[in-house]
């Protein structure tokens, strides 16, 4: 056995759940940003973007393996909030 094999850590169930929550955060951010308008969903950015940010923070706390994903998801959710609120005002859709 080499030293590389000993340093590898196994994925746990917590890592799998954290990864799924990170992807859910990015998906919610996409809906808040404007994909909800394209998919004809009730995209209310004042509701969905903060939930995406909270999910990203939960991911960062759950698993150190997905800290980078959580950071990118939180930044994307912040951008989605700004863009989604702007699009909602321009198109006359409800914010909350």
Residue range 74-82: average pLDDT? 92
pLDDT above 80: residue 6:
no
**Structural domain includes residue 65:** yes
Q: Does residue 7 sit within a domain?
A: no
Into how many domains does the chain fold?
1
DSSP element (H, E) containing 60: helix 45-62
| Structural domain includes residue 18 | yes
- Residue 4: pLDDT band (50, 70, 90) is low
pLDDT at 33 over 60: yes
Confidence of residue 32 (pLDDT cuts 50, 70, 90): confident
**pTM attached to this predicted model:** 0.81
Residue 48 lies in a domain: yes
Report the percentage of the chain scoring pLDDT > 70: 85
Using DSSP's 3-state secondary structure scheme, residue 92 falls into coil
Cα separation, 72 vs 35, whole angstroms = 18
Neighbours of 16 (CB within 10 A): 11
**Residue 75: domain span:** 12-91
Rounded to whole angstroms, what are the CA distances from 67 to 55, 56, 92?
Answer: 12, 9, 36
Which residues neighbour 68 within 8 Å (Cβ) at sequence distance 6 or greater? none
Determine the pLDDT at residue 91: 81
What's residue 2's pLDDT?
A: 58
Looking from the CA of 95 toward its CB, the CA atoms found within 13 Å total 8
């Amino acid at each position: 056995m080499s030293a590389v094999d000993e340093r590898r850590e196994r994925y746990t169930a917590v890592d799998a759940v954290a990864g799924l929550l990170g992807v859910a955060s990015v998906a919610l951010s996409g809906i808040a940003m404007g994909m909800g308008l394209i998919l004809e969903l009730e995209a209310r950015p004042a509701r969905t973007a903060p939930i995406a940010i909270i999910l990203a923070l939960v991911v960062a706390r759950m698993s150190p393996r997905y800290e980078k994903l959580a950071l990118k998801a939180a930044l994307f959710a912040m951008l989605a909030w700004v863009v989604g609120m702007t699009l909602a005002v321009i198109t006359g859709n409800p914010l909350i």
